[in-house]
A and B are shown apart, each in its own frame.
Chain A
Amino acid sequence: MIHRLLVPAFGELRELKVLAWHKAPGDVVVDGEILAELETEKAIVEVRAQGTAILRECRCAAGDWHTLGEPLALLSSERDEPLPSVTDALPEMPATFESS
């Protein structure tokens, strides 16, 4: 099963900065582990996966700006599952987004 990681709405932000990835494509992300850090206009947001999965593709590099509404990353349950070209219909990866 392939999941897409979507960032929820933060106020009126249309885009936000990706500060760092703590995992690389191919890495296993364990339930509760930190996956990425984002920066809103006033806070750092820690992204943690809920459930274990394999990070397959980061759609926005660290230091770049991510447009809200688009997937931030794709994750899969099996290592070799082919990634679809269209991601709109993929289920959402459960995750927490906590501001520090």
Chain B
Amino acid sequence: MSADVAPGPKVYFREAIIRAFDEEMARDPKVLLLGQDIAAFGGPYKETAGLFTKYGERRVRNLPVAEAATVGVAVGAAAAGLRPVAFITYMDFLMLALDPLVNYGAKLRYKTGGQLRAPVVVKTTAGAKGQGVAHSQALEAWLMAVPGLKVVAPSTPWDAYGLLKAALRSDGPVVYVDHKRLFPTAGIVPRDELVLPLGKAVVRRPGTDVTLVAHSYMATVALEAATGLATQGVAAEVVDLRSLSPLDLPTVATSARKTGAVLVVEEGQETCGVGSELAFQLRAAAPDARVHRLGARRSPVSSAESLEAFCLPSTSLVVQRAQALLGRPGAPS
């Protein structure tokens, strides 16, 4: 939330998404939604509820369980001048659609010497919540490696609203990533219309001892960890990346130079993850800062609750790792 923007009502995460779609669909008749269960059913998380009734079957279209075709149609429609949103219910199934997204959508502008663009949004949901090995992954870091692709992953209804609006106005493909554990949360959204910039992180909590960098649901875990660290005498600063590509190195580096210690927390794998990338970039931007990473264990995510929890960074694990980074034995929390 930014100080100069008037706060509006408190809403569920999905309501912020509906509002962004509704405003952008009213503003621009070229915006259309394509995906599974998004029409009369109102979306797997009820995040398109009411839009089918309001905008009709030409602009809110159910598509079959065919992710490659969904994104392929969306990229083609974007090249032809529309602004489609392709819904991929679980991010795991975005794998099926990487060819149209990466080889066509992300490269179209380059390939055509700027004559064609693909203003397409792929909206998907990442993260573990009891659904097992093929419905739980957080694959944002894979997408960061694709030139021409933007990737955003908000942690609050405010940012979901503002970043989705920005994605819907972007000239190139944007992957917008929700998290299953964020849908039961609620938060304030702006009173008036707001389009957030893509590629800007935000400091959620100021601190001086250690920087916790995270995005999506892990930003809320980092905030809880910062509360726990405060009771142990550690002032943690929490940076919510919000956008992974472009990556806001200046905001992270400013914090890193201040605290001298950075722990990057992510739900994806540590290998070639957000933390690895930031650690390398911070070598030049904040050479005196110690940088560590904490991600999922190198294992598939089980549907068994205990095993799922064992795989993923928890609040207490973030506290321990932050204390270890500071050279202090972490008190159990």
Contacts and interface: CB of A to CB of B under 8 A. Distances in A.
A39 B12 CA distance: 10
B186 A12 contact: no
A11 B130 CA distance: 12
Given A15-B186, A65-B186, A41 B12 contact: yes
B184 interface: yes
With most chain A CB atoms within 10 A of its CB, the pick from B10, B14, B184 is B184
Given A42-B45, A42-B46, A13 B10 contact: no
B42 to A, nearest CB: 9
Chain A contact residues: helix, strand, loop or mixed? loop
B181 A12 contact: yes
B104 interface: no
Interface residues of A, number: 12
B10 A12 contact: no
Interface string B1-43: 0000000001011100000000000000000000000000000
A17 B10 CA distance: 9
Interface of A: 10-15, 17, 39-42, 65
25 contacts: A10-B184, A11-B184, A12-B184, A13-B184, A14-B184, A14-B185, A15-B186, A17-B12, A17-B186, A39-B12, A40-B184, A41-B12, A41-B13, A41-B14, A41-B45, A41-B183, A41-B184, A41-B185, A41-B186, A42-B14, A42-B45, A42-B46, A42-B183, A65-B10, A65-B186
Interface of B: 10, 12-14, 45-46, 181, 183-186
